[in-house]
Chain A
Amino acid sequence: MHIPDGFLDAKTALVTGGLSAAGLGYALRSVRLELPPRRVPLLGLAAAFLFAAQMVNFPVLGGTSGHLVGGALVAALLGPAAAVVVVATVLIVQCFLFADGGVMALGANIFNMGLVSTFTGYAIFRLVARVLPGLRGQVAALAFAGWCSTVLAAISCAGQLAWSGTVAWRVGFPAMAGVHALIGLGEGAVSALVFLAIVRTRPDLLPERAHAGFAPAKVREFVVLGLLTALGVALFVAPFACPWPDGLESIAARLGFAHREWTPLITSPVADYRVPGLASPGVSTALAGGLGVLVVFGLAIGFSQLVVQKPARVPANSR
């Protein structure tokens, strides 16, 4: 999902750069105020951990394998503000040391993977863990949050590419959302398994506030990061996801190059995210999305039942 240089135009690069500078600046300030000095080196080591964890392969079908992305996992382990700093650090090092992801696209990459992915991952994790009780609930919540954060980051990326006029929305959205709906299943499962492994070996490393309520500073942090995420999504995704012909399309039609339509690369079972038999594309896209979310939520709960057995049935040496 690392956007390279040359894929974004000036306005997208500027807006994403501004949004992620604001988000990262706020997260840094918030971390500096609330993190005890003893935990400061943990940020750098968590970033190194995330990078090394991305090197561990998880075998998928055939000879292929995938790896963790980790926004939701880091947010669940360290809290939202620290997670923004950690993921942004990883992206900066990947950009300048490994030339992975563009310099002008750094803002967009930090926005998608550092802000959208960590914030939505954290928010969904906390919300679902509050509804579902116990360790099973936390595992199910993180599995679901991992999937949601991956898909939302991919949709935001597709929105930026469409806003730049690089990849049209009707090609980019189904391709990115479809592929990452599959990748997200693995991401959710791996995040939950890693979280479970940490809970079982060193539960003291996790923030205790998983049970406590929000402190006022936390609420402010939550609201600011949430607003930035929402603002970005409103800018990049809403113009395209709305059922009326969007600005870009009507301009294209007026300028007369609407006939240069792109055809999708992959046709999915629910083609173009539309449930067949429904007239309005907006409504059926939303329905198909909602259906997918419900199915994944069910999968996450089933997964947690499968992974977290009754305590007596887990032998100590199975770790």
Chain B
Amino acid sequence: MMDQVRLQAINSVSGPSLENPQLQQFKTNEERQKLINQQIKIQSQSLGLDEPWYSPKKLFNGIYKILTLNLGNSRFFTTYNGSNSVNELILEKLPNTILLFTTSSITIILIGLFYGTYLASKEGSLPEKFISGLAATSRGVPDWWFSMIMIVVFSFFLHIFPSRATPLSSPNEPGYVLDLLYHMTLPFITLVIIGFSPFVYYVKYIVLRILDEDFIKTLRIMGIPKKNILYVHALKNAGPQLSTILGLGITASLSGSLLVEQIFDWPGMGNLFYNAITQNDSPLIIGLGYISVLIYLLTRLILDVCFTYFDPRIKSGET
């Protein structure tokens, strides 16, 4: 697939053009065509396009490109500044994705930590049962469908938020940040509503298991007030297991973001990926896929290293 793209690019760039000064010296068409064919042949040979895929020239070229993150140029998309390069396209959209998903993840984590530990002390009450039910059902509801419903309710019926989350002003204008934040509100609210109940349920479950342990009883007897036990000691001990689910959640958000971003039309990486897919822009798709897998693996590596740091009981190399 990439080879055909490269061949097409070579053919179109070195095509017969009147501005090419080298072509002016020839008198007849055949001589011009001979020079063009010669140029095409030189380029193809240097890229190794006429050799089979296992030839060392192609492999070395490919590996070199992968290692230096040279992802080529997109066919249809340009950045705001007019650049075609895949690297710059991704770098332009990545901060938007991080903005939306980091803020919603941090909000979910904060709500989960505090409300989850609060609910752990109130086992069996109505809010706790409600959150348990909600946690089970919100895993079965597709989050992209829920965001469509939110758009219908809030944007069509109630006219509070705009239906497309793309900011109306360009990045260089002064009011851009406020515009961005205003358009971000609806996706942010949707993500928090979808994501908070499983996390609250999980925090409550883990804190409850820790509260059953003996050292909590000792702390109670020692006279430390209940709030302190809940929020300081139990949470600290729940740290490692909570980080596991945090890590999995962060890596999972990278894929779910594709559909949710597309529905809200939020200018982020997921939206770029969706547009690349529908327009069949191969360099961009491959580049985005590569970057996504890279980020995913890097995040998992960092999380694994952090776990061994947080919990000394986990040693590397054990099955």
Do the two chains belong together in a single complex? no
Residues of A bordering B, CB below 8 Å? none
